[in-house]
Amino acid sequence: MHRLCYNIEVPKKESVALEKFLITGGVKLKGEVTISGAKNAAVAILPATLLADGPCVIENVPNISDIAVITRILSDMGAEIRYLDKTTIEINTAGVASHIVPYEMTKQLRASSYFMGAMLGRFGKAKVSLPGGCDLGARPIDQHLKGFSCLGADCTIEHGMVNIEARNLTGSQVYFDCNSVGATINVMMAAVKASGLTVIENAAKEPHVVDMANFLNSMGADIMGAGTDVIKIRGVGRLRGACYSVIPDQIEAGTYMVAAAITRGDVLIRNVIPKHLEPIITKLERIGVCVDQFDESVRVWVPDRRKFECTSIKTMAHPGFPTDMQPQIAALLCLAEGTSIITEGIFDNRFKYADELMRMGADISVDGKVAVIQGVEALTGAPVRATDLRAGAALVLAGLAARGCTEIEDIYHIQRGYEDMEGKLRGLGARIALKRSAVSMVSSAV
């Protein structure tokens, strides 16, 4: 049964591809904006409810299309999903009998890989189609499978499906060859009910890894060390349902911080954990942007006549500068004085937005994983295309600062991860509209 008190829509590519953002740039953003729950935490926490014996209530869930896809997968598997309010979901997975997630469901988002760990932890087996998601270059899952194998599971890939099966999941030492958020979270889910002690070394330390551990612990798991390189998980017999609130979205917050900066505005960004924003705050201050930190909010503003300064940035695993903020900060550096260098340290192909920004007058040259940005006096509005989620966000930011009108196509990428972006920006004074064409020909309801 899929009972939705609030109508959350799963955009179908062919329909929402017709939606565009129209932005008239040049308005200094002013006011307050409230950040939603973290996408990357919520897309892991929702599948993890499969591990609980009772119903879970998850609060501060962002209203984005990736979440709609996850709830749809859970619902199709037999879970009862009920929206208690716009951001609170009650999930009861007692009725889930299947351990299979087919391609039709997983192709839309990378996070569908979390069903591997969740179902392995629950059923001792999982059959999940290889995940989709943003096209940022090769995105292997070898470390996920290595982790499952260490716990005693057999893993094979056939006909596009990953088959994972374990007679007895047994705690073990798992050493990751690279720092992977997804593999760390997946192995935590598989290990919480395995017998004995699992030790994950070279674990990812991102805020959403910690949030996942906190959620599992609130259900009765025994996980220590999340947020450090070594996570220890002592298996428990069962997990109970829990009520849990997702952390605020660090990347959404960072995006609005850049929006305030690039428009030379003055914005109070509410519902954030400033500690999670430190790498972003450090770089913004280096560029010349002022950031005032409070307990659960940050104010971002730019003094009159202050020029943005160029800088160098290399994206790294947490607590380094997040790769998911790389396109957005690049948009700002397009307007900085001098030459900035961005080195992408995580993904092979994360500069697809550069061509689009150049259509708006930016001066960027890309060589492999390095982009050299020569600051320009101004950007000018142009028709552009969002090539992925954060690339789309970068184009919105550029459009807000540009002279004239920017028309952004393929905004379904943006809607995967930003709740009501046009509404939030309009609340800050931006001139942004959602343009729908040929609505009668399409239907995007679940």
Q: Given the rule CB under 6 A, which residues bind ligand UD1?
A: 40, 43, 110-111, 138-144, 178, 180-183, 204, 208, 323-324, 346-347
Half-sphere exposure of 270 (CA within 13 A, CB side): 6
Q: Which is nearer to ligand UD1, 189 or 346 (CB)?
A: 346
Q: Which is nearer to ligand UD1, 201 or 222 (CB)?
A: 201
Q: Which is nearer to ligand UD1, 20 or 39 (CB)?
A: 39
Which of 56, 134, 150, 155 does the annotation list as catalytic?
134
Hey, how many other C-beta atoms are within 10 angstroms of the C-beta on 261? 28
- The least CB distance from residue 164 to ligand UD1, in Å, is 14
Sheet holding 197-201, edge to edge: 173-175, 197-201, 231-234, 222-224
Q: Which is nearer to ligand UD1, 252 or 308 (CB)?
A: 252
Q: Which is nearer to ligand UD1, 164 or 335 (CB)?
A: 164
Q: Which is nearer to ligand UD1, 130 or 236 (CB)?
A: 130
- The least CB distance from residue 40 to ligand UD1, in Å, is 3
Residue 280 and residue 389: Cα distance in Å, rounded? Answer: 18
150 catalytic, yes or no?
A: no
- The least CB distance from residue 322 to ligand UD1, in Å, is 6
- C-alpha R_g of the chain: 22
- The least CB distance from residue 405 to ligand UD1, in Å, is 30
Closest residue to ligand UD1, based on beta-carbon distance: 182
| SS (HEC) of the chain | CEECCCCCCCCCHHHHCCEEEEEECCCCCEEEEECCECHHHHHHHHHHHHHECCCEEEECCCCCHHHHHHHHHHHHHCCEEEEEECCEEEEECCCCCCCEECHHHHCCCHHHHHHHHHHHHHHCEEEEECCCCCCCCCCCCHHHHHHHHHCCCEEEEECCEEEEECCCCECCEEECCCCCHHHHHHHHHHHCCCECEEEEECCCCCHHHHHHHHHHHHCCCEEECECECCEEEECCCCECCCEEECCECHHHHHHHHHHHHHCCCEEEEECCCHHHHHHHHHHHHHHCCEEEECCCEEEEECCCCCCCECCEEEECCCCCECHHHHHHHHHHHCCCECEEEEECCCCCCCCCHHHHHHHCCCEEEEECCEEEEECCCCCECCEEECCCHHHHHHHHHHHHHCECEEEEECCHHHHCCCCCHHHHHHHCCCEEEEEECCHHHCCCCC
Residue 435 and residue 409: Cα distance in Å, rounded? Answer: 10
- The least CB distance from residue 324 to ligand UD1, in Å, is 5
- The least CB distance from residue 262 to ligand UD1, in Å, is 21
- The least CB distance from residue 118 to ligand UD1, in Å, is 14
> What are residue 392's phi and psi, to 5 degrees?
-60, -40
- The least CB distance from residue 380 to ligand UD1, in Å, is 30
Q: Which is nearer to ligand UD1, 346 or 360 (CB)?
A: 346
Residues involved in catalysis: 134
